[in-house]
Chain A
Amino acid sequence: MSARSKRMHRWSGWLFVSPWLLGLALLFVYPFVASLIWSFTEYDLLTSPRFVGIDHYERIVREIIQGKGFGKALWNTFYYAAVSIPLSIMLAIGLAVMLNWKVRGQAFFRTLFYLPSMVPMVASSILWLWLLDPRDGMVNGLLGFVYETPPLWFQGIQEGMSFSSPLQFGSKDGLTLMSLWGVGNFMLIYLAALGDVDASLYQAAELDGAGWLRKFRYITLPMLSPIIFFNLILGIIQSVQAFTQVYIVSEGTGQPAEASLLISLQLFLTAFRDLEMGYASAIAWVLFVVLALATWGLFRSSRNWVHYRGVRM
């Protein structure tokens, strides 16, 4: 190949990747850098940003200490993530294990349990508003046999998994239930992973006299651990990004009394309702750092519990 054609070849390569590079620069790198700069400014979208140093970060620390504003949203998101992620993992694994049983109608059941995750978020949010209505909802109709005063769900500020109001489910618990409804995607990944587990492992365990619980504990779970790890990280990211469902059930305000104000909604309200783009950028950056730390922590811990093909990494 001549030098000229080599050059042409190189240029055509750049030309082909240029749409992607342009997209990366405009839609990712620029906003990424701009938001970092804005986080040190007072910026309302309409007038030029004004440098304010670390004021926004100080405010974030203050609000975390007071448990207001960002502090409240951070707690709500933490609660939502802490309850919904383990539950969704357990439910998805449980369903995947059951749907892996060789029974008649296996394909039908697999489709049935996957279907809810295909329902658009807006439609499922409205459906859940009806299902979890404290007075006329179907869920409380059933819980009425157990509870003297049924949970308030999206109208309640209580936290059903907290010590202060145990099993008195409020709006965040409603959101958690909604997230479990869409567990089909996770389930599908577990199902695929289960098909990949070497049958000889189970046979060897059976020869050693292991029951189904032991096989599940010592074979299935370790073999699924890379997927659990993957879904755990994905779950954390999804919890922080949860917006549509929160916006719909709380009428865009995080009501009642900010009980369903997750970070993504707070960021939206701060940036586009209160016109505090600088502060919203600072929130986004703090969130980025928190997420990065959580992911790093998970990667560190994964050495102790994630097994790749039976080998602990």
Chain B
Amino acid sequence: MFQRIMLAMLLILAGIVAVWGATISLTNELPADREEVVFWHFWSGPDGEIVDEVVTRFNQSQDMYYVRAVSMPGNNFDMKLFLSITGGAPPDLINQDDPIVADWAFRGAIYSMEEIAPPGEVEQMKSWLLPSALSLGEYNDRLFAVCNGLDIRALYFNRELVEQALAEVAPVELESVEQLDRIAELCTKYTEGELSQIGYLPDPRRLWAWGPVFGGDFYDEQTGQVTANDESIVKALDWMTGYRKRLGANAVATYRQNDQSLPNKMFPLLAQRYAVILDGQWRVRDIEAAQQASRAEDQPVTPYGVWPLPSKSRRGKAGWVNGNVFLVPRHAKNPKGAWEFIKFWTGMEGHEKDAAKLCAAGGWIPVSKQVAESEEFQTYLNAHPLFARFVEFAATDQVPTPLVPGANRYYREVNNLVQRVLYDDKVVDLTAELSALDQMMQEHIDRIHQRPSFAEDHADE
């Protein structure tokens, strides 16, 4: 009896496995006469659905390539990619958002677009991209990454709180960081002796934005020197430290921007913890959702505005840009198919409408002026005025994390240093700290440069 039951269970199990296997083979079936392009990305949820949609549209538009999008967790994305490259089975296209382009290019982990696409098309792509988008992918005069969505930071503000504090209409733009300081001071509130609302608080991760705004550069491409102790960067850090001096390290750490305690990681501006906050364009969705919820409940709708970083008074750059980029791993089986998909996504060669539709669906900033100016996208911008401001800022001189091998660690170490300075009341010599970091990163970058680059290593191939 027992044996019969076991046998029946085994048969049922085998049946389930067979049905499951058949389903998998059906979903992975490649249409006849089409070449597969495997695309790894880390989008999931609503963003993942948008990616699936654009992949479907691309596949429908094609009779040669077929993109198979694979969504995977972003945490160990790099590790999986390197193992796949080392194992000789990388995907054909990946999406990344860390400052790794120069590093991976130097080590030969990725193809330059010049290696996989006709020269004319690469040149066309370079002129198609906004300067800020292009800056995220160019290394050693070659295009190693194509930006597919820009991330721009600007100062969101609660109009009600700011206007109450100023007792006048909020300015359209801030004239200087000093004006931001004044507003921050006026909007900072204490209840029963305890801090209850922050006017503005610099995020430790954003020395990368404030440094250039103060006129500084983190790296001198001409000399190959790390310039973390650039006078203007020291000034920017000193300015950020001013907030710690006024509020205390404890308050700075407690009111940190990436506040985990808020339900669903709620945007602190909506929780009225901040009056002004530096964040990216993706927060527009949160603000609009909150405003819509207020309307639905017949509650007063809180108005919000956006300021660009006040760079003019310091003659600095407009801010810091990063974003998602497409990369084609070396030894990819179908780099040409990947290039076709890149062109489709970015809207090149008559795909502006598709690209506009994609950006509007995801609330993503187009990487090309033509897409941003297309009728479809303008309709979207008219309905989303806050977002329109970010699209406007994307066309200004935003600078990325330096494109240099080792930039990923450089990014991390700068953030560590700023945290150390902001989260501790101990007085430190900022110039000395930045100089020590400068030296450490120079050693790190020099160590990488001592290796033969991929191009040198394979010169005889």
Contacts and interface: CB of A to CB of B under 8 A. Distances in A.
Interface of A: 42, 44-47, 50, 68, 129-130, 133-137, 149, 152, 155-158, 247, 251-258, 269, 272-275
A143 to B, nearest CB: 13
Given A152-B253, A269-B412, 17 more contacts: A44-B451, A45-B83, A45-B86, A47-B107, A47-B451, A47-B454, A129-B260, A135-B261, A137-B261, A155-B423, A157-B424, A253-B416, A254-B416, A256-B253, A256-B419, A257-B416, A275-B103
Interface in B395-416: 406, 408-409, 412, 415-416
Given A157-B420, A257-B423, A133 B261 contact: yes
A47 B253 contact: no
B85 interface: yes
A257 B419 contact: yes
Contact of B254 (A135, A158, A255, A258): A135
A243 to B, nearest CB: 12
Contacts, number: 89
A274 B406 contact: yes
B408 A155 contact: no
Contacts of A275: 82, 103, 107
A258 B108 CA distance: 30
Contact of A44 (B75, B83, B107): B107
A129 B256 CA distance: 14
B457 A47 contact: yes
Q: Which of A45, A130, A149 has the most CB of B within 10 A?
A: A45
A252 B83 CA distance: 20
Given A46-B85, A130-B260, A152 B454 contact: no
13 contacts: A46-B86, A47-B108, A68-B440, A133-B261, A134-B254, A152-B250, A155-B423, A157-B424, A251-B258, A253-B416, A256-B204, A273-B408, A275-B107
A46 B255 contact: no
Given A42-B451, A44-B107, A156-B253, A272 B82 contact: yes
A136 B273 CA distance: 13
A225 to B, nearest CB: 41
A251 B204 CA distance: 14
B412 A253 contact: yes
Interface string B104-121: 000111000000000000
A256 B423 contact: yes
Nearest to B405: A275
B63 interface: no
Contacts of A257: 416-417, 419-420, 423-424
Contact of A155 (B107, B253, B415): B253
A135 B79 CA distance: 35
Nearest to B80: A272
Interface of B: 75-76, 78-79, 82-83, 85-86, 103, 107-109, 204, 250, 253-256, 258-261, 406, 408-409, 412, 415-417, 419-420, 423-424, 440, 444, 451, 454, 457
A203 B440 CA distance: 65
B396 to A, nearest CB: 29
Contacts of B440: 68
A127 to B, nearest CB: 11
Nearest to A45: B82
Nearest to A126: B260
A129 B108 CA distance: 39
A75 to B, nearest CB: 14
A134 B253 contact: yes
Contact of B108 (A46, A136, A156, A269): A46
A133 B419 contact: no
A258 B250 CA distance: 17
B250 A149 contact: yes
Given A42-B451, A46-B107, A134-B254, A255 B261 contact: no
A44 B406 CA distance: 12
B108 A255 contact: no
A130 B108 contact: no
Nearest to A253: B412
Contacts of B444: 274
Nearest to A248: B75
Contacts of A254: 416
A155 B254 contact: yes
A251 B103 CA distance: 22
Contacts of B454: 46-47
Q: Which of B255, B260, B420 has the most CB of A within 10 A?
A: B260
Contacts of A134: 250, 253-254
A157 B75 contact: no
Shortest Cβ-Cβ A-B pairs, 9 listed: A133-B261, A257-B420, A257-B419, A136-B261, A155-B253, A256-B419, A272-B79, A134-B254, A45-B82
A277 B377 CA distance: 46
Contacts of B86: 45-46
A92 to B, nearest CB: 29
B428 to A, nearest CB: 11
A267 B255 CA distance: 30
Contacts of A136: 261
Interface-central residue, A50, A134, A137, A251, by most chain B CB under 10 Å: A134
A157 B250 contact: no
A135 B103 CA distance: 39
A80 B74 CA distance: 28
A252 B75 contact: yes
Contacts of B412: 253, 269, 273
Contacts of B85: 46
A60 to B, nearest CB: 14
Candidate in A42, A137, A149, A257 with the most chain B CB atoms within 10 angstroms? A257
